[in-house]
């Protein structure tokens, strides 16, 4: 019951000040989280770009190899 008595005696200005302080702390925390997420997002984007380039490079090598094998097969079977 002492908690309710303390809350009843607290003035509205004090309550508003405490709420504003809490909102300020929450806002600062959210800003820090947003900055960390932006940093992580930039790192992940760079890694995906690198991975995407590597995948295209491998794809081109596979297509080239497949073409070479078809050429050798066509020559061996006297298709060309």
The per-residue pLDDT for 1 is 45
Do 74 and 80 contact (CB within 8 A), yes or no? yes
DSSP letters spanning the chain? -HHHHHHHHS-HHHHHHHHHHHHHHHHHHHHHHHHHHHHHHHHHHHHHHHHHHHHHHHHHHHHHHHHHHHHHHHHHTT--
2 or 16: which leads in pLDDT: 16
The per-residue pLDDT for 6 is 57
The per-residue pLDDT for 68 is 96
* pTM, full prediction: 0.50
Q: What is the pLDDT of residues 21-71, one digit of tens each?
A: 999 999 999 999 999 999 998 888 888 888 889 999 999 999 999 999 999
Do 64 and 70 contact (CB within 8 A), yes or no? no
């Amino acid at each position: 019951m002492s908690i309710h008595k303390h809350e009843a005696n607290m003035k509205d200005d004090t309550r508003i000040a405490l709420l504003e302080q809490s909102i300020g702390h929450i806002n600062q925390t959210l800003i820090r989280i947003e900055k960390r997420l932006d940093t992580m997002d930039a790192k992940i984007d760079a890694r995906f770009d690198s991975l995407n380039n590597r995948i295209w490079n491998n794809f081109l090598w596979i297509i080239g190899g497949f073409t070479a094998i078809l050429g050798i097969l066509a020559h061996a079977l006297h298709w060309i």
